[in-house]
Amino acid sequence: MSDAPLLVVDGITRRYPGVVANDHVSFDVGRAEIHALLGENGAGKSTLVKIIYGLVQPDEGRMLLEGTPYAPAEPREARAAGIAMVFQHFSLFEALSVAENIALGMEDPPPMNALATRIREVSAAYGLPLDPMRLVGELSAGERQRVEIIRCLLQEPRLLIMDEPTSVLTPQEVEILFRTLRRLREEGRSILYISHKLEEIRALCDRATILRLGKVVASCDPRACSARELAEMMVGSSFTQPERTQRPFGDVVLEVKDLDLPAGSPFGTSLRNVSFKVRAGEILGIGGVAGNGQEELLAALSGERTTAAGAVRLDKEAIGRLPPNPRRARGLLSAPEERLGHAAAPDMTLTENAMMTGAVRRHLVERGFLRWQAARRFAEEIVQRFDVRTAGVEHVARSLSGGNLQKFVIGREILQAPRALVVNQPTWGVDAAAAAAIRQALIDLAEKGVAVVVISQDLDELLEISDSFAALNAGRLSEPRPTEGLGIDEIGLLMGGVHGAAPASRNGAGQEETV
Amino acid sequence: MVTLEKRPEPSEPWRWLAPLLAVALTLVAGGVMFALLGKDPVAAIRMIFWDPLFNETFAAYARPQLLVKAAPLILIALGLSFGFRANIWNIGAEGQYIMGALAAAGVALALYPLDAWWLFPLMIVAGALGGFLWAMIPAFLRTRFGTNEILVSLMLVYVAEAFQAAMALGPMRNPEGHGFPGSRNLQDYPAAHNAELVAGTGMHWGVVTAFLAVVIGYIALNRHLFGFQVRLTGQAPRAARFAGVDADRLVVICLGISGALAGLAGMFEISGPSGQVSIDFNIGYGFTAIIVAFLGRLHPIGILLAGLLMALSYIGGELAQFGLGVPAAAIKALQGMLLFFLLGVDVFTNYRLRWKPGRAG
Ligand SMILES: Nc1ncnc2c1ncn2[C@@H]1O[C@H](COP(=O)(O)OP(=O)(O)O)[C@@H](O)[C@H]1O
Ligand SMILES: [Mg+2]
């Protein structure tokens, strides 16, 4: 075998209205190499791999696969050339079995029995436990991803592309995935791996190409750089990591007691007997893989769904029956996970989005009439205080990048001076600098004596900022414990992600990155 | 290859250009259609869109008709627009229109021959209430049992029509009518008559109400919490729930408003231009108003213009029917084209064309 790289990308450019998603990008992927593609949100990583996979056509530039020109007009050609891809968003039918889903993606699928046997073989060979006969709707996120990976492996690819594969996995599931990827490398296959998680990249990858605003800005050996250095290359400037502080806690502000709530959607999770207390100045981190009741918990706290009166208490007052705005009036604020469509209205301006939740506490409505001037000033205040990058508050929410919209959404609640704040996945799909800013803002809020609940599947984040930790698994919450001295293995077990045992099904739709 | 690409933000110029372009395209396509029918396209178009307003022979009759026909369309469409924005689909305005007319006429006929200033205001209240209550049936069924308001409201149109026929033949029949179906003519009942306010203009209380409703609708949509909740619910229902909008309450209010305004339109019609409860005095304003609402892009000012344009096409259409022998179906097709082109051109507000070399992904 020659030493020539497997894939050469040469001067690839792709423009979208208003942005150059890829600007003369050149790099190569070697044989038997795990190659990381790193960059902030919107840096152009997904666009680049879609070009390699034939989903998007470049405006300029060329590619070479094993030295010969390669220009796939559609994914089928890419697959024929030995390139497979696992997407950021799964494209599976929940009502069909694993084998049926895989057959749907094949050009001429073998008989179902033969296919099931092949799936079992591959899953055994690569240590990816998966029963071909189960319904996809019953699978955890990690298992769904295995379906996608096995679908790819059945094609015996030379290059496997993975776009942010670990964002939905438990630590144990990540371990299994990494073992599989390393085995693939040993077999001489190459992997192009996209992730935000720098520690992961350092543990797994042989080389990293770093994109910023569509351009390649650096290339390095990630094992030889610190996570911090990598992050600064991505952002292009240095930024301060949030710092946790020791602070005294006050009285209990938010108390949830024996909260039961049926699932909100067919593939959602019911909450059972959830109890916790948060004191003034305390940050409670609630870990767990999304789909284990996180959305339901947020809805029960925001007031979108009501419960027994005493199940939720704010400053001792039973508020479980109150709808969202009376809760806001009392100081319980929240920010849901899904930015576009839930926390914010995509086609409304930032001013209108400020009006959306700020009306009560910021007095933006006077006897039923809207005070647009005041709403506009509030929106401008959020933009300015939280460094939201936008051309102005008259632009619609969906025109903002994910990280900037998230800063806006969190800032909108923080600037309303809450008594207690509940956030779900505050930094999901947000770039490193914005994530650091959001975490710092949450810590600052706790410093002021606010009770904060952070629901997140990013364990590093929870370990970084939370004072106590509990895991939400299959709708049940573990006993909160002080975060100090808690090991990652212990947390993994609390989260219930022990391999093979599906903790709970999840609804893929709730989790999509919508940037 | 040409592909559509979503714009990062809706285009402001297109928002205004789209209706104008749609009208232009309708004129062209309509002209082609008339030519294929063997009519002179220019003459047909002129007779439909120009003569009712500016031809000396026709304008004297047609201009007042414009207001008379546009007022109910505007009133009903405006009421519907709030619900449509919030994804609450009242398709049965025609039924609410009938029930409003019957309620108002019922009050007047029951008190016949009353001569009191308060009869007309009382009829207005009765008309609004009749339409409102009829709309509460789909509202109740939807919020209580999750039924589809499209089907329920539509079905209730046929119930209302049957009820109207029964009234015209039964309790409301004119006792001095020599056994003919139909009620007394309210035009001959001074206290109940919705007469022209200024002779020869077509201006009556319904027209005043429609203009007033446009102004109030505009304020409600842009400056009031209600309008904000409606827009939020339509654009992002989950965000609306998060913002504290009570979805059921909104269903009741939106259906209630559209029902009451449709009922009002029915009241002004039965007490004025139509005059008499007959087995089929309704002529489809409730359905045409749906087109007007969309043609006016659910915006109060747009609806005002769309209502006038639609009324013009009706009046001009009738002229062309008599004057040039253009078939009635061709006039309907013309109106359909207008909506078709508007919705089609509308795509460019949110999307743009992109020229792509090679194959699409
Ligand atoms: N289909 C599209 N239409 C318009 N803009 C797009 C499209 N896809 C991506 N972009 C833009 O291209 C840039 C790069 O996006 P993407 O490749 O998804 O970045 P990443 O995966 O690194 O977060 C972003 O600014 C994004 O808004
Ligand atoms: Mg991406």
Instruction: Please identify among residues 275-294 of chain B the ones whose CB lies closer than 8 Å to any CB of chain A.
Output: none
Contact B180/A at CB under 8 A: no
Residue of A nearest to B239 (CA): A342
Nearest atom in ligand 1 to the alpha carbon of residue A211 is 22
pLDDT at A497 over 80: no
To the nearest whole Å, the CA of B210 is away from the closest chain A CA by: 23
Average pLDDT over residues A38-51: 88
Taking CB atoms and an 8 Å cut-off, how many pairs form between chains A and B? 85
Q: Angle at Cα B64 formed by Cα B63 and Cα B67, nearest 5°?
A: 100
Query: Is residue A375's pLDDT more than 70?
Result: yes
Contact between chains at B361 and A323 (C-beta distance less than 8 A): no
Architecture of domain B59-326: Orthogonal Bundle (1.10)
User: Which stretches within A316-418 are classed as H helix?
Assistant: 324-330, 350-358, 372-385, 402-414
pLDDT in tens, chain B (361 residues): 777 878 877 888 887 788 889 989 999 999 999 999 999 999 999 999 999 999 888 888 888 999 999 999 999 999 999 999 999 999 999 999 999 999 999 999 999 999 999 999 999 999 999 999 999 999 999 999 999 999 999 999 999 999 999 999 999 999 998 888 899 999 999 999 999 998 888 899 999 999 999 999 999 999 999 999 999 999 999 999 999 999 999 999 999 999 999 999 999 999 999 999 999 888 899 999 999 999 898 999 999 999 999 999 999 999 999 889 999 899 989 988 988 998 888 888 888 887 765 544 3
Q: Is the CB of A46 under 6 A from ligand 1?
A: yes
Return the percentage of chain A with pLDDT > 70, whole number: 93
Confidence of residue A473 (pLDDT cuts 50, 70, 90): confident
What mean pLDDT do residues A486-490 have? 75
Nearest to A399 among B9, B239, B352 (CB): B9
Ligand nearest to the Cα of A405, by number: 1
Is A77 within 8 Å of chain B by CB?
A: no
Side chain identity at residue B95, one-letter code: G
Among B226, B235, B246, select the one facing A348 at the smallest CB separation: B235
ipTM, 2 dp: 0.88
Which residues contact residue A30 at a Cβ distance below 8 angstroms, ignoring those fewer than 6 apart?
Answer: A5, A6, A190, A206, A207
One-character DSSP codes across B52-104: HHH-HHHHHHHHHHHHHHHHHHHHHHHHHHHHHHTT-----HHHHHHHHHHHH
Question: pLDDT (tens digit, 9 = 90+) per residue, A343-367?
Answer: 999 999 999 999 999 999 999 999 9
Nearest CA in chain B to A324: B244
Cα–Cα–Cα angle for A327, A331, A332, nearest 5°? 60
Q: Cα separation of A172 and A394, whole Å?
A: 45
Q: Which ligand is nearest to the CA of A398?
A: 1
Q: B244 — contact with chain A (CB < 8 Å)? A: yes
Q: Measured between CB atoms, which of A343, A348, A369 is closest to B242?
A: A343
The whole-number average pLDDT for the span A473-499 is: 77
ω into B113 cis (within 30 of 0): yes
Per-residue pLDDT tens digits for A108-144? 888 999 999 999 999 888 888 888 998 888 787 778 8
**Arithmetic mean of pLDDT over chain A:** 88
> Is the Cβ atom of A16 under 6 angstroms away from ligand 1?
yes
Residue A153 C-beta-side C-alpha neighbours within 13 Å: 24
At A2, the pLDDT band (50, 70, 90 cuts) reads low
This prediction's pTM = 0.79
State the smallest CA–CA distance between residue A50 and chain B in angstroms.
10
**Can you list the pairs that B341-344 forms with residues at least 24 positions away whose Cβ atoms lie under 8 Å?**
B341/B21, B341/B22, B341/B23, B341/B25, B341/B26, B341/B29, B342/B18, B342/B19, B342/B22, B342/B294, B342/B295, B342/B297, B343/B294, B344/B22
Residue A489, Cβ density class (10 Å: 0-12 exposed, 13-18 middle, ≥19 buried): exposed
Tokens 């038997």 label which residue? A32
Ligand 1 centroid to residue A100 C-alpha, Å: 32
Contact at CB, B361 and A55, closer than 8 angstroms: yes
Q: Under an 8 A CB cutoff, do A346 and B235 touch?
A: yes
Q: Using 50, 70 and 90 to split pLDDT, how confident is the model at A501?
A: very low
B184, B158, B163: which is closest to B105 by C-alpha? B184
Residue A45 CB less than 6 A away from ligand 1: yes
B241 Cβ under 8 Å from any chain A Cβ: yes
Q: Which residues of A touch B226 (CB under 8 A)?
A: 368
- Cβ within 8 Å, pair B239-A74: no
Supply the pLDDT for residue A476: 92
Q: What is the mean pLDDT of residues A164-192?
A: 85
Residues of B in contact with A342 (CB under 8 A): 236, 238-239, 242
Strand ranges (E), B94-245:
none
Give the closest residue (by CA) to ligand 1 atom 17.
A44
Nearest CA to ligand 1 atom 12: A21
How far, in Å, from the CA of A156 to the mean position of ligand 2?
Answer: 25
pLDDT digits (tens, 9 = 90+) for A121-130: 998 888 888 8
Q: How high is the pLDDT of residue B356?
A: 61
Task: Give residue limits of the domains in chain B.
Answer: 59-326
The residue that leads in pLDDT, A463 or B30, is B30
Q: Which ligand 1 atom is at minimum distance from the Cα of A40?
A: 22
Q: How far is A399 from chain B (nearest CA, A)?
A: 6
Residue B354 CA: which ligand is closest? Answer: 1
A356 touches chain B (CB under 8 A): yes
**Best of A12, A15, A19, A399 to mutate for ligand 1, by most ligand atoms within 8 A of CB?**
A19
Distance A41 CA to ligand 2 centre (A): 7
Cβ proximity of A454 and A442 under 8 Å: yes
Asked whether the CA dihedral B187, B188, B191, B196 is positive or negative, the reply is: positive
Ligand 2 centroid–CA A39 distance in Å is 9
pLDDT at A513: 34
Q: Whose CA is nearest to atom 11 of ligand 1?
A: A21
Q: A215 CA to middle of ligand 1, Å?
A: 13
User: Could B244 and A50 be called an inter-chain contact, meaning their C-beta atoms sit closer than 8 Å?
Assistant: no
Q: How far is A425 from chain B (nearest CA, A)?
A: 16
For B239, the closest of A56, A341, A369 (CB atoms) is A341
Nearest CA in chain B to A56: B361
pLDDT reading at A199 higher than 70: yes
Nearest to A397 by CA among A446, A340, A448: A340
Residue A168 pLDDT exceeds 80: no
Pocket test for ligand 1, best of A16, A52, A515 (most atoms within 8 A of CB): A16
